[in-house]
Amino acid sequence: MTGDRVAAPDTAAPAAPPGDAPGTGAGTGAGAGAANCTGPADDDLSVWPHSTTRLSDGDLAVGGVPLTEIADRFGTPAYLLDEAEVRGRCRTYVQAFPDTDVLYAAKAFLCRAMAHWVGEEGLGLDVCSAGELELAVTTGFPASRIVLHGNAKSPEDLRAALRLGVGRIVIDSASEIARLAAAVPPGSRQKVLVRVVPGIAAGGHSKIQTGTEDQKFGLCITDGSAQHAIARILDQPGLELVGLHCHLGSQITAEKPFLCAVRRLVGLMARIKDHHGITLPELDLGGGHGIAYHPDEHSLDIPSLARKVRAELTESCAAAGLAVPHLVVEPGRAIAGPAGVALYHVLSVKRTGDRTFVAVDGGMSDNPRPALYGVRYLPRLIGRRSTAAPAPMTVVGRHCEAGDVLAADTALPSDIRPGDLLAVPVAGAYHLSMASGYNLVGRPPVVAVAGGHARLLVRRESLEDFRNRDVGL
């Protein structure tokens, strides 16, 4: 395994030929610009699922299933998930973080199969709504292994969490304390964490940095908000404060911010012990572990992060005279993202001035991330071989927005034409979970691939679905 890639298990795929090994590089996915024509070499599959293999007709197979077969059977747009890749990434976390609770962040992508996979691999779940919670529990996921968080939990969210018996609820605001305490049944106690803001700027884009003091999440250490909330929680007999929580942001590819967060949260734990005489037994460092969307980008080295976090936590606690708390981490994108591939058919090719626009049958309704964060993706022609020279093209969606761009100035064969099939790797996280019904375009299906077989996990949203929701006249 290279240091910059979360490895899949040995059973995930046959050995890759030279050139297919995971690569390393520099940069981050979110927020990176795409001013120049960029594109992968034909032999570079480093950001694809580990099971990806080439076929003789210019196609690729993932999980032993040709991508053209997926498109033919399920239509496009379509998303596939490599089950072995998901499971392998779960195992990497479990192995790298022994004696740690690893919670899959459901916001990255959740369906019944995903909940089942991560549960079987020994992970818990981090959810942020009654919807995510109910789906997981009705799948059979133990509520005791679920943590509910969110900056604006509704009364329904809190009632569902208490009714189903979630293991932890993360307090995000002072007003939530009284609301939750009033909802706890008499004679019961709900274990809670306090989400604190450590004042650390980290993340691939300003819109996904959540550890700073100028955003909506958590309670600040520097202005005393966190300390005040902790004192209030300790006065509530129905709430049991068991630890601190923080989440620095997303697409973090350096270890230093996490180590800094450990030091600051341990410092707060020491002050809590001095002021209140209690030692908190848990520390949740959240997630935000960055992945590569391009072969020239870095992913966060998870085994290295685990070693350094554990060492920093042990050293900081020893210096503060504290017992080492139980550690919790919450990866989401780093598990789901590289396991996913999006498939689109080309609808039109239009040359306007110096630009060539390749329009596909999906777009910002199934992947809003380029419009939100300027994320770069690398679409690839599959299903036929082309000897045409690559040229810079802009892959756009079908929606009525000028910002509906999936990949700007990316290299594609100059003979690209309507009917061609494009595949986009690293599409497993924050695509369908953020999808919309814009222009009443139904959300795509999700297909699992494993061992040469494909099966439908989530069906395509249909016109009938839209009609059934529209009940007025």
State pLDDT tens for residues 162-214.
Answer: 999 999 999 999 999 999 999 999 999 999 999 999 877 555 544 444 444 56
305 and 422 together in one domain: no
Q: In this structure, are residues 252 and 27 in contact, taking their beta carbons and an 8 Å threshold?
A: no
Confidence of residue 442 (pLDDT cuts 50, 70, 90): very high
Element (H, E) at 464: helix 463-469
Shared domain for 355 and 286, answered yes or no, is no
Residue 48 in domain? no
State residue 360 phi and psi, 5-degree precision.
-115, 175
pLDDT at 43: 74
Q: If you average pLDDT over residues 25-48, what whole number do you get?
A: 53
Chain segment 250-299, per-residue pLDDT in tens: 899 999 999 999 999 999 999 999 999 999 999 999 999 999 999 999 99
Structure tokens at 173: 């605001």
Assigned domain for 190 exists: yes
User: Is 400 a known active-site residue?
Assistant: yes
The answer to whether residue 125 is domain-embedded is yes
| Residues 341/424, Cβ–Cβ less than 8 Å | yes
Each residue of 139-158: pLDDT tens digit? 999 999 999 999 889 999 99
Which residues, including other chains, have CB under 8 Å from residue 457's CB and lie 6 or more apart?
81, 111, 112, 113, 445, 446, 447, 448
Range of the domain at 99: 84-336
pLDDT at 19: 32
Give me the catalytic one of 37, 128, 220, 400.
Answer: 400
336, 365, 395: which is the final residue of a domain? 336
pLDDT for residue 224: 87
Does 58 fall in a domain?
yes
* Same domain? 261 vs 194: yes
pLDDT at 31: 35
- The per-residue pLDDT for 215 is 64
pLDDT more than 70, % of the chain? 88
Can you tell me the mean pLDDT for 334-341?
98
Same domain as 200, residue 327: yes
pLDDT of residue 213: 56
Sequence-distant contacts of 150-153: CB under 8 A, at least 24 apart = 151/216, 151/217, 151/218
Query: Is there a single domain that holds both residue 151 and residue 291?
Result: yes
DSSP 472: -
What residues are designated binding site for substrate? 333, 369, 373, 401, 430
- Please state the domain count of the chain: 2
Q: Give dist(CA 190, CA 361) in Å, integer.
A: 47
* Host H or E run for residue 315: helix 302-320
Domain boundary among 305, 336, 367: 336
Are 343 and 305 found together in one domain?
no
**pLDDT score of 68 more than 90:** yes
% of the chain exceeding 90 in pLDDT: 80
Q: Is the pLDDT of residue 59 over 70?
A: yes
Q: What is the pLDDT of residue 209?
A: 41
Render pLDDT for 347-358 as a digit per residue (tens, 0 to 9). Answer: 999 999 889 999
Domain CATH number, residue 215: 3.20.20.10
Is 201 within the bounds of a domain? yes
Start-to-end CA distance of the chain, whole Å, equals 59
Question: Tell me, what CATH number does 377's domain have?
Answer: 2.40.37.10
- Residue 411: phi and psi, rounded to 5, are -85, 125
Taking only the tens place, the pLDDT of each residue in 223-237 is: 889 999 999 999 999
Residue 95 lies in a domain: yes
Backbone angles phi, psi at 340, to 5 degrees: -110, 150
CB 244 within 8 Å of CB 264: no
Asked if 202 and 28 touch (Cβ cutoff 8 Å), the reply is no
Q: What is the DSSP letter of 67?
A: H
Together in a domain, 173 and 290: yes
Specify whether 307 is located in the same domain as 264.
Answer: yes
Quote the pLDDT of residue 220: 85
- 275 and 250 together in one domain: yes
**289 and 231 belong to one structural domain:** yes
User: Is residue 269 domain-shared with residue 132, that is, in the same domain?
Assistant: yes
- 336, 366, 382 - which closes a domain: 336
Within this chain, do residues 155 and 234 fall inside the same structural domain, yes or no?
yes
In a domain, 143, yes or no: yes
Question: Could you report the per-residue pLDDT of 99-126, keeping only the tens digit for each?
Answer: 999 999 999 999 999 999 999 999 999 9
Dihedral sign, CA of 90, 92, 97, 98?
positive
Residue 451: Cβ-neighbour burial (10 angstroms; 0-12, 13-18, 19+):
exposed
Distances in Å between the Cα of 36 and the Cα atoms of 28, 192, 392 are: 16, 48, 8
Binding-site residues, in ranges, read: 288, 330-333, 369, 373, 401, 430
Q: Count CA atoms within 13 Å of residue 273 on its CB side.
A: 16
The pLDDT of residue 216 is 63
Tell the residue number behind the tokens 């870095």, with chain if given.
298
Q: Is the peptide bond before 198 cis (omega within 30 degrees of 0)?
A: no
Within-domain flag for 7 = no
Annotated binding-site positions for pyridoxal 5'-phosphate = 288, 330-333, 430
**Residue 130 pLDDT greater than 70, yes or no:** yes
